[in-house]
Amino acid sequence: MSKFWSPRVRELTPYTPGEQPRERLIKLNTNENPYPPAPGVGAVLRNYSTDHLRLYPDPESGALRQALAREFGVEVEQVFVGNGSDEVLALAFQAFFCQQRPLEMPETTYSFYPVYCRLYGIERRALPLTANHEVDLAAFATDSGGTIFANPNAPTGHGHGRKAIAELLKRVTDSVVLVDEAYVDFGGESAIPLVVSHPNLVVTGTFSKSRSLAGLRLGYAVGSRELIEGLTRVKDSFNSYPVDSLASALAIAALEDNEHFEACREKVITTRERTRTRMEKLGFHVLPSQANFVLVTHPEHDAAQLFAGLRERGILVRHFNTEALRDFLRITIGTDDEMESLIETLETLCG
Amino acid sequence: MSKFWSPRVRELTPYTPGEQPRERLIKLNTNENPYPPAPGVGAVLRNYSTDHLRLYPDPESGALRQALAREFGVEVEQVFVGNGSDEVLALAFQAFFCQQRPLEMPETTYSFYPVYCRLYGIERRALPLTANHEVDLAAFATDSGGTIFANPNAPTGHGHGRKAIAELLKRVTDSVVLVDEAYVDFGGESAIPLVVSHPNLVVTGTFSKSRSLAGLRLGYAVGSRELIEGLTRVKDSFNSYPVDSLASALAIAALEDNEHFEACREKVITTRERTRTRMEKLGFHVLPSQANFVLVTHPEHDAAQLFAGLRERGILVRHFNTEALRDFLRITIGTDDEMESLIETLETLCG
């Protein structure tokens, strides 16, 4: 605590990201893709002229936004890019959710959302999940200051279909609805086709998961022109060039290789379903997941102890020490070999 | 304007960065370095394994902060890194300047500062430059909510020595003093040695100018541990990993090549002084500069017209259409050949 800090900064409780260990561990804790990025990424990297780095990037990130616009079948003016979807989300909180009325979100969802609320002084209303651990779309009010949720949700893995989101958008028309699709490519259904007809919908996504580029920090938002313009106003009042030239070129290469993308996500989905069956045999309750992780709990074994036992044996998963999640472990889907090691270790730990 | 935007966003006037043209122009408008980054940057780039990109970066950017700490002779806890010094500045405004009392800055300085004030609702008090176009250090109040200026200042180029900054810090002890040293390597004197003895001093810098890495977006701050901790709290409430792994590795390579760094900055300084002599012969008044640009005015020629004439002939410089700067052009120091073309074109234009 320092007298030199702004008053609000003294009250902040920053977000805690998953550990990035230095030792060699089987790393199933931060939902990274176990497969490398598309081969074209390496080709662009090796041929990139470093002389180009002396120049500032295009402040509008035109080429990357064009590539995403083509990918999603929208206009370039409907696409925003930023330094990871965390930055895109933070700018969206400023652009849309600093309102008189509270922002609504599920009680259990991406734990960065409440951190943004504290940073920007936004009042937050948290709504319980359903008994099935699903986001309760029917519970969102029509007169809130905004609505945000991850779909598929984190760390539960459940995703609502486009039809359910469309139903929500029929009711909530006076404030922004932000659907965070960080995990959608592992079996979810994207709401992006709905942006055409809903001026208050913004959908965010990332290159960190299905595109295997977490190290590059690239995220995006797709929405109506007026929402993207609002985001851009905030971005241009914060940092003119958040996306670096090299990262942009590499991300475009990743987008161009659809075959690699499809192959990787199918492998992850197949491994996830196999992992789920194996874990259920060990007595775990495994929540159905459309993401590249599973949330699991065991009726007879303490999650914190399992976490510690796995860590000791070189396997890192995620345990959230909150009331709602204390009994669960969130396990990223790795390669088949990694998941085999996990299962074997859990067999030992669960006796 | 949209009803979905947060009220403050409707009032924003975003920063306007210099144009990044697509045509081939002699580009003297955004203070980029005319020389490529150190050769080691290319070597690291070509050997970088793209498989590493599937993992998140170190959220603490330990390796890059260590390299900067060594460079500046400070502890790693005194170093902060971000996505360009623009991001570092924006986070610093949040961390230190959201106070009850107004933030003081020169009337003419980096034009992003007033934009941050609007974004964060910070009251601003602008102090005129001296008759010599210098930042008037004696005019800063001791009871403000904070003090910020660029040193060397932009777009004037004048820099105060460390002794003058130390005098200021004797008077201003109750709020944060931020010295933005984006241009210091072209002949200025850094205030970094003063951070040891002044808990309220924070100095920012960038890899975009003297390190020829504007395309990578890397900036830093050096200060007391308590100020760096405040900055980190805001960063960790905004974006856990603002610096990407690849950019970090390339920046470390740039820091390691001191010979290249010295050679490039000396070339820029020599060319600047030669340009100044040549322009004075053409009748320009050239403000003394410790930066990689000069601010010039001509008693007989309109700056806006000269800007347009140069643009037509393929040379891009910067003209700020504000009352204080309307009569000036800011010209980045390029290679000797580029400056020769500039001088020849100005000879034609000034007839």
At B97-153, the pLDDT tens digits run 999 999 999 999 999 999 999 999 999 999 999 999 999 999 999 999 999 999 999
Q: Is residue B301 part of a domain?
A: yes
Closest partner residue to A246 (CB to CB) among B2, B216, B239 is B216
Angle between helices A245-256 and A39-47 (to 10 degrees): 150
Cβ of B230 and A116 within 8 Å? no
By C-alpha distance, the chain B residue nearest A94 is B6
Place B351 in a pLDDT band, splitting at 50, 70 and 90: confident
Q: Is residue A98 part of a domain?
A: yes
Q: What is the pLDDT of residue A308?
A: 97
Is A284 in the same domain as A225? no
Closest partner residue to A97 (CB to CB) among B6, B59, B175 is B6
Q: Is residue B278 part of a domain?
A: yes
Place A291 in a pLDDT band, splitting at 50, 70 and 90: very high
Looking at the complex, report in whole angstroms how far the Cα of residue B69 sits from the nearest Cα belonging to chain A.
Answer: 21
Cβ of A7 and B98 within 8 Å? yes
The whole-angstrom separation of Cα B141 and Cα B102 is: 10
User: What are B315-320's contacts with CB under 8 Å, separation 24+?
Assistant: B315/B25, B315/B26, B315/B28, B315/B341, B315/B342, B315/B345, B316/B19, B316/B21, B316/B25, B316/B26, B316/B27, B316/B28, B316/B29, B317/B28, B317/B29, B317/B342, B318/B18, B318/B28, B318/B29, B318/B30, B318/B155, B320/B111, B320/B155
Is A56 in the same domain as A166? yes
Q: Is residue A1 part of a domain?
A: no
Residues 6+ apart with CB under 8 A from B273: none
Is A332 in the same domain as A222? no
Structure-block tokens of residue A239: 């940092």
Give the residue from A238, A257, A276 where a domain finishes. A257
Give the residue from A223, A257, A291 where a domain finishes. A257
**If you average pLDDT over every residue of chain A, what do you get?**
96
Cβ of A54 and B35 within 8 Å? yes
What is the SS3 assignment for A36?
coil
Is A64 in the same domain as A74? yes
Residue identified by tokens 């040549």 is B278
Cβ of A215 and B52 within 8 Å? yes
Cβ of A41 and B50 within 8 Å? yes
Is B269 in the same domain as B135? no
For chain A, the domain total comes to 2
Question: Are the beta carbons of B48 and A45 closer than 8 angstroms?
Answer: yes
Choice among A14-28, A118-132, B93-107 with the minimum mean pLDDT: A14-28
By C-alpha distance, the chain A residue nearest B27 is A55
Cβ of B12 and A233 within 8 Å? yes
Q: What is the pLDDT of residue B121?
A: 95
The whole-angstrom separation of Cα A300 and Cα B262 is: 65
Does pLDDT of A19 surpass 90? Answer: no
Q: Is residue A2 part of a domain?
A: no
Is A146 in the same domain as A240? yes
Closest partner residue to A216 (CB to CB) among B18, B199, B244 is B244
Please give the share of chain A, as a percent, with pLDDT higher than 70: 100
Residues 6+ apart with CB under 8 A from B337: none
Looking at the complex, report in whole angstroms how far the Cα of residue B179 sits from the nearest Cα belonging to chain A.
Answer: 15
* CATH code of the domain containing A193: 3.40.640.10
Q: What is the pLDDT of residue B191?
A: 98
Looking at the complex, report in whole angstroms how far the Cα of residue A163 sits from the nearest Cα belonging to chain B.
Answer: 23
Residues of chain A with C-beta less than 8 angstroms from the C-beta of B232: 14
Digit-coded pLDDT (tens) for A40-74: 999 999 999 999 999 999 999 999 999 999 999 99
Q: Is residue B233 part of a domain?
A: yes
* CATH code of the domain containing B21: 3.90.1150.10
Residue contacts between A and B (CB atoms, under 8 Å): 270
Residues of chain A with C-beta less than 8 angstroms from the C-beta of B20: 55-59
Q: What is the pLDDT of residue B95?
A: 97
Question: Are the beta carbons of A195 and A179 closer than 8 angstroms?
Answer: no
Digit-coded pLDDT (tens) for A73-120: 999 999 999 999 999 999 999 999 999 999 999 999 999 999 999 999
Q: Determine the average pLDDT of the residues in B8-19.
A: 88
Does pLDDT of A1 surpass 90? Answer: no
Place B24 in a pLDDT band, splitting at 50, 70 and 90: confident
Q: Which domain holds residue A283?
A: 7-36+259-349
Closest partner residue to A233 (CB to CB) among B9, B229, B250 is B9
Q: What is the pLDDT of residue B151?
A: 98
Digit-coded pLDDT (tens) for A235-270: 999 999 999 999 999 999 999 999 999 999 999 999
**If you average pLDDT over every residue of chain B, what do you get?**
96
Place B18 in a pLDDT band, splitting at 50, 70 and 90: confident
The whole-angstrom separation of Cα A331 and Cα A318 is: 6
By C-alpha distance, the chain B residue nearest A207 is B54
The whole-angstrom separation of Cα A64 and Cα A207 is: 12
Residues 6+ apart with CB under 8 A from A167: A137
B295-to-B29, B55, B92, B137 alpha-carbon distances in Å: 11, 45, 28, 21
Residue identified by tokens 């990871």 is A84
Residue B265's closest CA among B207, B339, B211, B206? Answer: B211
Please give the share of chain B, as a percent, with pLDDT higher than 90: 94
Place B20 in a pLDDT band, splitting at 50, 70 and 90: confident
Is A15 in the same domain as A111? no
Does pLDDT of B16 surpass 90? Answer: no
Residues of chain B with C-beta less than 8 angstroms from the C-beta of A230: 2, 4-6, 9
Is A183 in the same domain as A321? no
List the single best residue of B54, B77, B112, B210 to mutate versus A (max A Cβ within 10 A).
B54
Residue A280's closest CA among A268, A298, A292, A265? Answer: A298
A225-to-A200, A221, B55, B266 alpha-carbon distances in Å: 10, 11, 33, 47
Is B23 in the same domain as B130? no
Does pLDDT of B22 surpass 80? Answer: no
Closest partner residue to B237 (CB to CB) among A119, A213, A236 is A119
Question: Are the beta carbons of B160 and B135 closer than 8 angstroms?
Answer: yes
List the single best residue of B1, B4, B169 to mutate versus A (max A Cβ within 10 A).
B4
Which residues, listed in sequence order, are joined to residue A14 by a DSSP beta bridge? Answer: none
Digit-coded pLDDT (tens) for B32-68: 999 999 999 999 999 999 999 999 999 999 999 999 9
The whole-angstrom separation of Cα B37 and Cα B261 is: 8
Q: Is residue B1 part of a domain?
A: no
Closest partner residue to A83 (CB to CB) among B18, B239, B246 is B239
Is B108 in the same domain as B162? yes
By C-alpha distance, the chain B residue nearest A199 is B4
Is A215 in the same domain as A303? no
Is A138 in the same domain as A219? yes
Cβ of A14 and B233 within 8 Å? yes
List the single best residue of A1, A2, A204 to mutate versus B (max B Cβ within 10 A).
A2
Place B173 in a pLDDT band, splitting at 50, 70 and 90: very high
Looking at the complex, report in whole angstroms how far the Cα of residue A160 sits from the nearest Cα belonging to chain B.
Answer: 24
Closest partner residue to A37 (CB to CB) among B53, B86, B237 is B53
Give the residue from B234, B258, B282 where a domain finishes. B258
Cβ of A199 and B4 within 8 Å? yes
Q: Is residue A237 part of a domain?
A: yes
Please give the share of chain B, as a percent, with pLDDT higher than 70: 100
Digit-coded pLDDT (tens) for B180-205: 999 999 999 999 999 999 999 999 99
